[in-house]
Chain A
Amino acid sequence: MTSIGTGYDLSNSVFSPDGRNFQVEYAVKAVESGGTAIGIRCKDGVVLALEKLITSKLLKPEANKRIATVDRNMGVVSSGLLPDGRHFVSRARDEAASWRQMYKGPIPTSALANRMGSYVQAYTLYSSVRPFGVTAIVGGWDAEVEVPVDGQVGSGPNTGSGGKKDGAKHGGPFLYMIEPSGLYWGYYGAATGKGRQIAKSELEKLNLADGELSLEEGVKEAARIIYVAHDDNKDKEFELEMTWISSLTGPTKGRHEEVPKELREEAETLAKKSLDDDKMDE
């Protein structure tokens, strides 16, 4: 069944006779035209990467960062309408802050994804709003060791808090992707935006579910995938933006940070080289 002309696609929160919400589907269209965004869950961290299309020569290079920090240990990259992405991030920051108010500690990545899923879903329920024109990828590192609660001043008894099982694994890298419908899944590798199909097939080749890929390798793969997914012929130039979150013992000490320039440039050089090699093979 087609959507146009039926009248069922003119308002949010209206079902068509075959049970679809067309406004949400149209919002997805807005996402599909955005620059490619990907996230990779590696064994010791998470990488977020974005193909930032350069819409004008007059833009200041290397400024206009689009991957946002939500809490110290968490980042969001999104594809679609830029202002909607900022709205999403702003709400995510509020959720993370209110979690801290309540629990005196950082929000787990899964809880943030859950709350943002609910928030985005609420924008499909009412005719007075429109759905989000973004698909957002949330990456985070939940602390693997017991961290002090916010405001803690002493060490207290050294037995630690109770209710813990010996040998149980806590925390680690997490990755979620939230769609305009409010639907979200956990991922090993997530991709959205224009080049998502190519990016997805590249991500699948990495066998991420095995949990073997290291963070440093992940950075290089992320850069390569963004370059592969970029369509030279159709698209404008782009800047590669990358952030990462490692374990507490890793390079970012559990914090969400920009990938250092040297490492990013190295990854880009490798990405370009691998593209050239592929072309030679053809």
Chain B
Amino acid sequence: MFRNNYDNDSVTFSPQGRIFQVEYASEAVKQGSVVVGIVSKTHSVLAAIKRNAEELSSYQKKIITIDSHYGIALAGLASDARVLSNFMKQQSLASRLTYDRAIPLSEITSRIADRAQTNTQQYGRRPYGVGLLIAGVDAKGPHLFEFQPSGVTQEMIACGIGARSQMARTYLERHLDDFAACGREDLIKHALRALKESLSQDKELTVDNTSVGVAGIGENFVHYEGQDIAQWLDATFENREEDDSSSDDAMETDS
């Protein structure tokens, strides 16, 4: 049987110039449940599906508030995300302490990117097995960044990562031009709809398995769960059976 000799560690290039260990780490992200993020001119939104190990267990946390102005959503190894989020919290506090400034999102993103890159160039380490969406508001307005295990980070208008996230991305691409002008409520609805696209047919978004994070200009990052998101789920999906135009109207009026 063919044996790939170039995939044992992250310090070996394949003859094509690829690093398989890093590519495998990206697969771990695809094992995680889906998370979605969108930005408008005024707001930045995260939405995530939470999984529970069994019926009676609690749900895995998917959205973490880092500082009052931003938070992250994760897909992949949650324990790796915790390491990164602790680092982000520490860096964010350091910025507030030394400069009395909320750390710019581009800055914190590149700091974790640099950390992740180190893990792909030194023996005895492994790449992080988690993808992150970093969303919030800084002095330059709302932002959304995507972080990958390879250390690649990109600023996005909208993004979805995790299991079956291609469906969410397709939805996001289709509505890409609408996002900029969206208000808070509309943006959340778009995020929930994108999330729903990635769900298998027999599943529904519920107050138990859905998590939402929102930040806006002059508005701190808030993480919503449980009954706090019931109204959004109701408002977003009540007219599912009806045609699209009527649901669009409903969306316009209650925002």
Contact = CB atoms under 8 A, between A and B. Distances in A.
Interface of A: 3-4, 9-12, 22-23, 26-33, 56-60, 63-64, 81-84, 86-87, 90, 123, 127-131, 133
Most chain B beta-carbon neighbours within 10 Å: one of A33, A63, A83, A123: A83
Chain A at the B interface: mostly helix, strand, loop or mixed?
A: loop
Contacts of A28: 17
A31 B17 contact: yes
B12 interface: yes
B12 A133 contact: no
Nearest to A82: B152
A133 B22 CA distance: 13
Contact of A26 (B15, B116, B152, B159): B15
Given A60-B155, A128-B122, A83 B15 contact: no
24 contacts: A3-B15, A12-B12, A23-B12, A23-B13, A29-B16, A30-B17, A31-B17, A56-B156, A58-B158, A58-B173, A59-B156, A64-B155, A84-B117, A86-B114, A87-B117, A123-B121, A127-B11, A128-B122, A129-B11, A130-B12, A130-B19, A130-B121, A133-B17, A133-B19
Contacts, number: 97
Nearest to B144: A60
Most chain A beta-carbon neighbours within 10 Å: one of B14, B110, B124: B14
B117 A32 contact: no
A90 B115 CA distance: 12
B17 A86 contact: no
A70 to B, nearest CB: 15
Interface string B32-61: 000000000000000000000000000000
Contacts of A30: 13, 17-18
A23 B157 CA distance: 37
B24 interface: no
Contacts of A128: 11, 122-124
A127 B123 CA distance: 8
Nearest to A28: B17
Interface string B120-143: 111110000000000000000000
B122 to A, nearest CB: 6
